[in-house]
Amino acid sequence: MRLRWRLCWRYRRVGIRHVQASSLSERVGFTASQRHIPKKPIWLCDAVFRVLSDRLLGVYSLSSSASCYNGAGVTLFDDLVFHVKQDSHARRTRVLVVTNQKGGVGKTTTAVNLAGEFVRRGQHVLLIDSDPQGNATTSLGVAKRSLSITIYDLLMQTADVRSAIMTTGRERFDLIPADEDLAGAAIALAGIDRREWRLRDALDQIATGYDHVIIDCPPSLGLLTLNALCAADSVLIPLQCEYLALEGLAQLKGTLDRVRDGLNPSLRIIGVVMTMYDVRTKLAQQVVEDVQRHFPHLICRTLISRSVRISEAPSYGKLIAEYDPLGRSAQSYAALADEVLQREEL
């Protein structure tokens, strides 16, 4: 990654000033007790902040406002300003989790086809199947019996992330697959330190290799889903247009709020997408109206209609855009991809 750094100062005192105490420490993962950098000669400042740049991508102007404790005392660059300029091709990988604790709401269908639509827009996408059922893997035409390395090996740290990545046979579209072995991951990780950070630690190794990483979660709020949420920037919630699906939305939002408060402060819900919408039924319309009333800023404009074609596509190992490119479902997922990309920029 090519980053150009411009360092401006007025005074002679040498040190590092805390850059916006309200944000920098959180961005680079420092705790309150670790919010310091040792004294460095002036020529080393660029190197110090280059190390931090992996966690500061997307921040274009960082202005100091508070001092930083360096272990021996507080020393400042008065009016220190760092201007970070990114080359146009350097982009930060965005991690999007598709989750809902209720099964059968269209999580896998949404994750797979949303990834495909991002690829159709010229992006390099990695899809991670984090469901022991492995439905995202088979939906892309990958035979689970032929797998040698899966996300289970990644979480157990018996394989690195690059060896777990496989091609889907589509340009710029890669996959980390899953099989039934993943069901034992929660038990195997139960007594391990930092068990909820295993996936994030692995993805840090490919921080700029993809435009998007999309994670398909299991229908639960267990350790596999927690790993995905700790690694994520944003969450997309597919919600079936039925009463029981609506009932669990408030519970899911509460869980996501607790994860954000305790583990991943940058996590945000990017949207709730209504799936299996049937315009002929009054119930579907009522559920959409209820979500609009209670979560007006979260519900997506795009509705994914119930369709036999979208149910058939995985049996052929195809995306809906490949199986029925002119159909209503393909057009809906294309519109959803555009909407998600717009929401990510907000």
Domain end, chosen from 56, 86, 116, is at 86
Q: Along the 346 residues of the chain, how does pLDDT read in single tens digits?
A: 433 333 333 333 333 333 333 333 343 343 433 434 344 344 344 433 343 344 334 333 333 333 333 343 333 333 333 333 333 344 579 999 999 999 899 999 999 999 999 999 999 999 999 999 999 999 999 999 889 999 999 999 999 999 999 999 999 999 999 999 999 988 898 888 899 999 999 999 887 889 999 999 999 889 999 999 999 999 999 999 988 877 888 889 889 999 999 999 999 999 999 999 998 899 999 999 999 998 899 999 999 999 999 999 999 999 999 999 999 999 999 999 999 999 998 8
Are residue 149 and residue 272 in the same domain, yes or no? yes
Q: Summarize pLDDT for 299-318 with one digit per residue, the tens.
A: 999 999 999 999 999 999 99
Residue 135, CA distances (Å) to 40, 158, 318, 342 in order? 52, 23, 12, 28
Are residue 70 and residue 16 in the same domain, yes or no? yes
Helix, strand, coil share (%) of the chain residues, nearest 5: 40, 20, 35
Domain count, the chain: 2
pTM comes to 0.74
| CA proximity to 325, closest of 316, 334, 314, 317 | 334
Are residue 78 and residue 101 in the same domain, yes or no? no
Domain end, chosen from 86, 120, 138, is at 86
Strand order in the sheet with 3-8: 3-8, 81-86, 61-66, 18-19
| CATH number of the CATH domain containing 326 | 3.40.50.300
Range of the domain at 71: 3-86
Are residue 192 and residue 334 in the same domain, yes or no? yes
- CB of 294 within 8 A of CB of 78? no
Are residue 146 and residue 268 in the same domain, yes or no? yes
Are residue 152 and residue 135 in the same domain, yes or no? yes
